[in-house]
């Protein structure tokens, strides 16, 4: 690449800072799906590290904690349980937010009192959004007290972990090539 003074300039690669946040409560059955996906990715990362500066973490969904976790990231991926009517337990929805427009899902789908959309809106107002935010919302079957995911939700943990890892790899490749 030629610079303004005619000399070749060297491109520097800066690793993409990436956060994967599992939101939920592992003691409310399917509400723990975000934690389960992050846990599975952490297990696999011991043998097969993720590219870039990927941080895997779990959160209870508190907006202030979410904002602190995704601040200054190139890509943030959030995995959370979702309520839907009619419900199709285990169905995964992918939502993406880029830019500064207000982001409101068509309906309140979070299984928490303050939803993810509240955290996104607050972060937008405070100018603390990640460059790119991707949410994987997994429709739940059971969110009563107790541990363990329903079979339908448990069945999506491994494929969703794979899908997120692939998304991270593509993001890092795009960052290298840009």
* The pLDDT value given to residue 116: 81
* The pLDDT value given to residue 117: 81
* The pLDDT value given to residue 1: 45
* The pLDDT value given to residue 101: 54
* The pLDDT value given to residue 85: 87
- Angle of helix 151-177 versus helix 33-47 axis, rounded to 10: 50
Strand ranges for the chain from DSSP E: 17-23, 53-59, 75-82, 92-98, 132-139
Q: How far is CA 120 from CA 14, 44, 60, 75, 154, in A?
A: 26, 29, 15, 14, 27
* The pLDDT value given to residue 14: 52
**14 phi and psi, to 5 degrees?**
-115, 120
pTM of the model: 0.83
Low-confidence stretches of the chain (pLDDT < 50) are: 1-3, 10-13, 106-113
């Amino acid at each position: 690449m030629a610079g303004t003074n005619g000399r070749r300039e060297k491109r520097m690669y800066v690793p993409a800072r990436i956060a994967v946040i599992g939101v939920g409560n592992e003691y409310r059955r399917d509400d723990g799906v975000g934690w389960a996906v992050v846990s599975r990715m952490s297990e696999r990362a011991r043998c097969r590290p993720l590219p870039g500066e990927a941080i895997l973490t779990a959160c209870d969904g508190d907006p202030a904690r979410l904002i602190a976790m995704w601040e200054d990231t190139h890509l943030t991926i959030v995995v959370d349980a979702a309520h839907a009517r009619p419900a199709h337990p285990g169905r995964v929805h992918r939502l993406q937010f880029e830019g500064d427009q207000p982001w409101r899902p068509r309906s309140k789908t979070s299984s928490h009192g303050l939803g993810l959309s509240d955290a996104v809106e607050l972060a937008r107002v405070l100018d603390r959004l990640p460059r790119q935010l991707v949410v994987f919302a997994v429709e739940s079957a059971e969110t009563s007290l107790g541990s363990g995911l329903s079979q339908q939700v448990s069945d999506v943990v491994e494929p969703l972990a794979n899908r997120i890892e692939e998304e991270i790899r593509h993001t890092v490749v795009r960052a290298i090539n840009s």
